[in-house]
Amino acid sequence: MQSRYLKDVIHRRSRYAIENKLPLSQEEFLLLVENALKYCPSANNSQSGRIVVLLQEHHNKFWETLKTLLQEMIKPEKFPKTALKIDEFNAGYGTILFFEDQETVTGLQTKYPKYAHNYPDWSMQSSGILQYIIWTALSSVNIGASLQHYTEIINEYVTLQYNIPRNWKLISQMPFGGIVAEPEEKTFLPLSERMRIYPE
């Protein structure tokens, strides 16, 4: 493989077994996240992505709060399995919360009415790119991460706890930390079913 970037793409995985340590300094980690946010592409260069980085006790409180909220929702016999999963995330170093600014989206819709219907999709696409840049960049420096969607359950807590503007829409949560174990091998569909090349 000639491309260094594609080596990083192949190395990125969902890593659930993480620990409360980083293989680089917190400053280097934050610079990586800042650069990902700054250089991520967005429709009309609207820069609609927003990020909140939770470290140490903020990260722990986030997952403990979610665990309590889940306990209120889940049948008692099913809760231990869920609790173990949440504890795995809590064992990490921090969590990145991804948002998209809806004021930016509606601003673009007003400015470019012909394309108005596209802007919510384009905002989500840009968020996906941002999440992926960070996930892959973390993996490239041997920080394990996974992508979680507890949005509906934890949204109110996040908004109140961190005074998040109402126009910031929470999209996903990425717990990260030092890599403890390699994930299981994953399977792949045949590329011949997914890609066509012409002329054949």
Ligand X SMILES: Cc1cc2nc3c(=O)[nH]c(=O)nc-3n(C[C@H](O)[C@H](O)[C@H](O)COP(=O)(O)O)c2cc1C
User: What is the length of the chain?
Assistant: 200
Q: Tokens at residue 95, please? A: 């969590």
- Residue 146 interacts with ligand X (CB under 6 A): yes or no: yes
Residue 40 is encoded by which pair of tokens?
């991520």
Q: Does 148 help bind ligand X (rule: CB under 6 A)?
A: yes
User: Which one-letter amino acid corresponds to residue 82?
Assistant: T
Query: Does 147 sit near ligand X (CB under 6 A)?
Result: yes
Within 13 A of 177's CA, how many CA atoms are on the CB side?
Answer: 22
Q: How many residues bind ligand X (CB under 6 A)?
A: 8
Provide the minimum distance between the beta carbon of 107 and ligand X in the complex, in angstroms, as a whole number: 25
Angle, helices 57-73 vs 79-90, to 10°: value is 170
Give the nearest distance from C-beta 181 to ligand X in angstroms. 13
* Residue 83, token pair as written in the block: 């609790």
Shortest Cβ distance from residue 184 to ligand X (Å)? 9
Site for ligand X in 6-25 (CB under 6 A): 13-14
Tokens of 15: 């890593």
Binding residue (CB under 6 A) for ligand X from 117, 166, 186, 194: 186
Binding residues vs ligand X (CB under 6 A): 13-14, 146-149, 183, 186
